[in-house]
Amino acid sequence: MVYYGTMHTSRRFHEWFNPLLSTLDGRVERHRVNPRILVSEQQRFVFYRIPKAGHSTVGNTLLHYDPTVTDEQRAELQDAGDKIGVYLRPRDLGIRRSRVAWRDYFLFTFVRNPFHRTLSAYLDKVVRDRPPAAKNLGDSPTQDGSTIGFSEFLDKLEAGALYRGPHWAPQVSLLPKDRSRLNFIGRLERIDSDLPQLIGKLFGSDASAEVRNWDPHRTDSASKLASYYDAAAVDRVRRMFREDFEAFGYSLDPEKTTTPAE
């Protein structure tokens, strides 16, 4: 119990004074976002990983092109199925070094169309019954153990689960409150061009760098949109994820996946 109290105090201290955590939106508990922020002191970047927005592919591509990662390390990481590898989290970094990272490093993320991301989270975390993510929905899905439908999933989000699961929480809630601090916001919809551009900015590599796909939980949600979204579901997702649509310029029409020119 003493250990738990010490751990809890340390966590709170970081949430208050570590700028990579204290500057977060805060609606998703900051200690739950901490593992999703990757920091490289050697390459001086901070990657805010958003679940179901291509973060695994981005992480795998970073590891492939990062000149500070050796071929032996890459082989070991691949064998272990590790898409995070050598990078640190804010609490690993500590408060003093995190202040340097927040002030001086290259901060970036990748985002996704909220219609597609919400469905992808449902298909991966509910239909595939992938704990512990599904437990964040609250009570048992159904009395007979069957999978809840997409409409029931949205019911649970509206009833209070929206910010309990990072895989479906609004993307703005996983990022700094001041999003202007981000140096780069990539889009999953154009990852084939945005990710090589990012690699060039970080490592000085050729802009034709190859995207290193890592997609073990791919759900092909884009091709299934019409099967799950009726008019009511469209309106509900528009309401719950209004900030994401506005912050990242996504169309409120689920049939349009393109984003405005930036």
What is the rounded distance in angstroms from the CA atom of residue 16 to the CA atom of residue 20?
10
Spatial distance between the Cα atoms of 191 and 11, rounded to a whole number of angstroms: 34
pLDDT of residue 255: 84
Q: Are 56 and 213 in contact (CB under 8 A)?
A: no
**Mean pLDDT along residues 229-241:** 97
Query: Would you call the peptide bond into 176 cis, given omega within 30 degrees of 0 as the criterion?
Result: no
Averaged confidence pLDDT in the chain = 87
Instruction: Place 219 in a pLDDT band, splitting at 50, 70 and 90.
Output: low
* Residues of the chain above pLDDT 90, percent: 65
- What does DSSP say about strands 37-40 and 184-187: parallel, antiparallel, or unpaired? unpaired
Which pLDDT belongs to residue 167?
A: 93
Give yes or no for residue 218 having a pLDDT over 70.
no
pLDDT of residue 2: 45
Per-residue pLDDT, averaged over 58-75, amounts to 90
Domains and CATH numbers, the chain: 2-248 (3.40.50)
Place of tokens 């970081």: 14
- Of 187, 213, 188, 211, the C-alpha closest to 200 is 211
| Mean pLDDT of the region 163-172 | 95
C-alpha pair distances (Å), 105 with each of 43, 46, 184: 9, 7, 12
